[in-house]
Amino acid sequence: MSSEQLTEGVIGSMLASTDGTTPVVPKCQILSLKKLQTTSASANVSERYRVVLSDGVHYTQAMLATQLKPLVENGMLDKNVVVRITQFTSNTVQNRKILILLNLEPISSALPHRIGNPQNIEASSSKPEAKPQSADSKPAVPAAAPQASRPAPSVAAQALSGSRGVAKASSGMPVYPIDALSPYQNKWTIKARVTLKTDIKHWSNARGDGKLFSVHLMDESGEIRATGFNDAVDRFYPILQENKVYFISKAKVTIAKKQFSTLPNEYEISLESGSEIEECAEAGDVPEVKYNFVPINELNTVEPNNTTDVIAILDSYSDVSEIVSKATQRPIKKRELSLIDSSGMSVRMTLWGSQAENFESTISGEDKPVMAFKGVKVSDFGGRSLSMFSSSTMSINPDIPESHGLRGWYDNEGNAAPIRAISSAMDGGAAAGGGTTPGAMRANEFRTFAQVKDQSLGTSFERADFFNTRAMVVYIRPGTLYYTACPSQECNKKVLMDDDGNWRCEKCDRSYPAPVRRYIFSANVADYTGQIWVSGFNEVGETLLGITADELDVIQNESEAGFKAVLSRAIGRVIDIGCRAKQETFNDSSRVRYTMTRLQPVDFKKAGHELVNKIHALQAN
């Protein structure tokens, strides 16, 4: 059959198909191709394309699965291109049938015309089935063509789709890749590995009580989060185990709630009472955890409060300590690790709760093991540091190339190599205008505000610059000094009072009897060369004002004069500041925003000696 001979009438068969199959592989023409606009601002959301598909007799609307986007970008899919469709599914959306094209093979370039005179199948009064051929024409769809007679996909199609559509669950249904899932699909089965399983979380609010848990699922195409609520917790929590592979079907695909997940997927799965989960013994084709490692010396390229993956040697670790939560007044376990890698840098990693308590049993007495972390939080307070979330994962001596390479480096040279903490190394970079986070502030590395502007620090959109300075506090804006924050240890998002007098956190999806107040302030600081406006957050605010935001709130509510007195005590103070400068755009206007990452009082005796030494050095020259 030439490229201009389509499988006439097959559109009706595809729309009527319940299992994504037709007697032969459909051969159709793309009449139009349009990128859909998305209202999401997330960089992780994939572009999607809608096509009008024709078999020469009828045409219908269809959606391209996200894994087919490269074919559009490289020009292989375009208007009037003929394609062989090797995998599809038919779904009902708003009482209309729509095709989801999961895998296809372009078999022609863009033709100068459309083939035939296709009509909208929705306007056809005929039943959606293959149109019979005339007696004198060559039949395009043999009536008794067996399933086994399908031509094998081309090498290019196999490279694009991997093993998609080949595996089948015990139910006999074909297995779809994770990145092909969407809310448009009703019948699907995925084969995926559980890479993370959270503890069961309970909540209680005005709408009632409940419980939930989540798992991260991964196959060769991508990752997705699945969550079970209430009855689904009782059914599936004992079944799903980390690092095991399962067939999962009859669940609901919804738009992902990005405040609860860091996975790069625009959708998530909701496990329901009718969902089916079956452990899969043949798991060799499902990969282990996927990482995107960032070397320690490049952590300054990761924006603060974002997550990253790190692989490193465990150099040392502290005993478990205990701090008291300001919000709940409950003790929280804490442990700190020192990690090193072949960049010659070390970084501090903080573990919390059960992760901190169970750490020694986790490493099982291993001496200097390789540790791989996925989804850990990056902080820039006092220099780059890392912290594990409840959703972060930790693996000891993983069997991956990066682990073997790091083991070889440490055993051969790393155990004797000089190691510097990333905070102190970054401080030296700031001194050279290198744009890094300050650690211990040294007077001979300070910048004046004139130098900061002359060196254009913070004017790059790609990265932030860091510098140290000594300045006087001129003014503190009294209007918005702090906000009501979620008391959860790893959240700190803003909370609002609900109708019942409780404080609701949308990110944690729970209510609290009281918030914790956290500083978020703006101040004007000056040196002898100029002045800038800087913003600051909780730890810096406590150092500057000498009290917590909760304590300041009490003073403000009791006495306006007392509130002003607290601010007045900070005015005129000379302080050493670690500062972050970053170009930002707001309302089509760009400006450099300065943020205090660290603050410490000036040791005037030491500062005086430093000035004397500078004078002597100038006289000697």
Does position 184 have pLDDT exceeding 90, yes or no?
A: no
475 with 604, same domain?
yes
463 with 379, same domain?
no
Q: 45-61: per-residue pLDDT in tens? A: 456 788 989 999 998 88
183 within a domain of the structure (yes/no)? yes
Phi, psi (rounded to 5 degrees) for 599:
-145, 135
265 with 326, same domain?
no
217 with 338, same domain?
no
Under the banding of pLDDT at 50, 70 and 90, the label for residue 462 is: low
Q: 188-214: per-residue pLDDT in tens? A: 899 999 988 888 888 887 778 899 999
Between CA 520 and CA 123 the distance in angstroms is: 60
More confident residue, 288 or 386: 386
437 within a domain of the structure (yes/no)? no
Number of domains in the chain: 4
Question: Of 279, 310, 337, which residue is a domain's last?
Answer: 279
Phi, psi (rounded to 5 degrees) for 452:
-60, -45
Question: Of 377, 404, 421, which residue is a domain's last?
Answer: 421
Domain enclosing residue 526, as ranges: 449-481+520-608
339 with 405, same domain?
yes
388 with 459, same domain?
no
Nearest to 6 by CA among 22, 23, 27, 25: 27
Q: 484-517: per-residue pLDDT in tens? A: 999 886 678 899 988 888 899 888 888 889 999 9
Q: Hey, how many other C-beta atoms are within 10 angstroms of the C-beta on 587?
A: 4
Between CA 47 and CA 33 the distance in angstroms is: 13
314 with 209, same domain?
no
147 within a domain of the structure (yes/no)? no
139 within a domain of the structure (yes/no)? no
pLDDT mean over 439-463: 74
pLDDT mean over 243-264: 85
Between CA 406 and CA 585 the distance in angstroms is: 40
For residue 244, the domain's CATH number is 2.40.50.140
Residues 6+ apart with CB under 8 A from 557: none
197 within a domain of the structure (yes/no)? yes
Under the banding of pLDDT at 50, 70 and 90, the label for residue 147 is: very low
406 with 469, same domain?
no
98 within a domain of the structure (yes/no)? yes
75 within a domain of the structure (yes/no)? yes
β-bridge partners, 335: 351
Burial of 69 (0-12, 13-18, 19+ CB in 10 A): middle
456 with 599, same domain?
yes
Between CA 228 and CA 213 the distance in angstroms is: 6
Does position 434 have pLDDT exceeding 50, yes or no?
A: no
Between CA 85 and CA 82 the distance in angstroms is: 10
417 with 469, same domain?
no
Q: Three-state DSSP class for 76?
A: coil
Under the banding of pLDDT at 50, 70 and 90, the label for residue 173 is: low
Under the banding of pLDDT at 50, 70 and 90, the label for residue 142 is: very low
Q: Return the residue matching tokens 């049938």.
A: 97
What is the enclosing helix (H) or strand (E) of 366? Answer: none
Between CA 11 and CA 30 the distance in angstroms is: 12
Q: 546-564: per-residue pLDDT in tens? A: 999 999 999 999 999 999 9
275 with 321, same domain?
no
287 within a domain of the structure (yes/no)? no
The pLDDT value recorded for residue 364 is 83
Q: 344-392: per-residue pLDDT in tens? A: 888 989 998 888 888 988 888 788 999 999 988 888 755 688 998 877 8
What is the enclosing helix (H) or strand (E) of 360? Answer: helix 359-363
Between CA 451 and CA 259 the distance in angstroms is: 39
With beta carbons less than 8 A apart as the criterion, state whether 220 and 286 touch. yes
Under the banding of pLDDT at 50, 70 and 90, the label for residue 327 is: low
Q: 262-285: per-residue pLDDT in tens? A: 787 888 999 998 899 999 877 776
Q: 107-136: per-residue pLDDT in tens? A: 988 888 888 888 888 776 444 444 444 334
Between CA 337 and CA 359 the distance in angstroms is: 10
264 with 301, same domain?
no
Q: 388-415: per-residue pLDDT in tens? A: 887 788 889 988 889 999 999 999 888 8
The pLDDT value recorded for residue 166 is 41
When the pLDDT of each residue in the chain is averaged and rounded to a whole number, the result is 80
Question: Of 254, 279, 304, which residue is a domain's last?
Answer: 279
